[in-house]
Amino acid sequence: MCGRYTILHSQDAVAERFGVSPIPGLSTPRYNVAPSQGVPIIIEDQGARQQVLAHWGLVPFWARDPEIGNKLINARVETLTEKPSFKYAFARRRCLIPADGFYEWQRKPSGTQPFYIRRRDQDLFAMAGLWETWEAPDGSPLISCTIITVAPNELIAPLHDRMPAMLLPEDEEAWLAKT
């Protein structure tokens, strides 16, 4: 599970790395990005990348209540095509979630120990995500997202049984293009 992450780079650095415009007024650094907060995501709309602000916790377009998003902060890659909450977004609405680190908690008999995981070069990376637009009863749109998780690699396995799906830069375009 990925329940907290960081964006320490400036909005200008995020915009340059992902080829998008910065989100005006979005403050950085963010040392403890948490579910239900507004997070920057990168989407592709009519062939062009855009950076938008999304609520972290996916609210499917068909949901009656946005509170469902509190339970949908992560989506297991193994069930994306099966779960009603994710299959439509997986087919049509994929996103990149910029980050430069994330936290995983190792469970021990004495409690939990947080670990901060980042690239050696401390650069930005993209987590694979899904996004949706939900329409509130008053007609206002809510853009929301979820982080896709995978089985851990050998570095993360001693800490946790899941980790965010981290995309290589050369795989980002294919992910957004749904191929």
Residues 6+ apart with CB under 8 A from 162: 1, 2, 74, 76, 149, 150, 151, 152
The gap from C-alpha 3 to its chain's centroid, in whole angstroms, comes to: 10
Q: Give backbone dihedrals phi and psi of 79, rounded to 5 degrees, phi first.
A: -120, 15
What is each CA distance from 104 to 67, 160, 161, in whole angstroms? 24, 7, 10
Among the listed residues 2, 95, 145, 172, the single catalytic one is 2
Is residue 2 among the annotated active site residues?
Answer: yes
Strands 94-99 and 163-164: unpaired
Which position among 44, 104, 132, 172 bears the catalytic label?
104
Give every CB contact of residue 81 below 8 A, 6+ residues apart in sequence. 87, 90
Distance CA 75, CA 117 (A): 20
Q: Which residue has the tokens 């050696």?
A: 120
173 is catalytic: no
What positions carry a catalytic annotation?
A: 2, 104
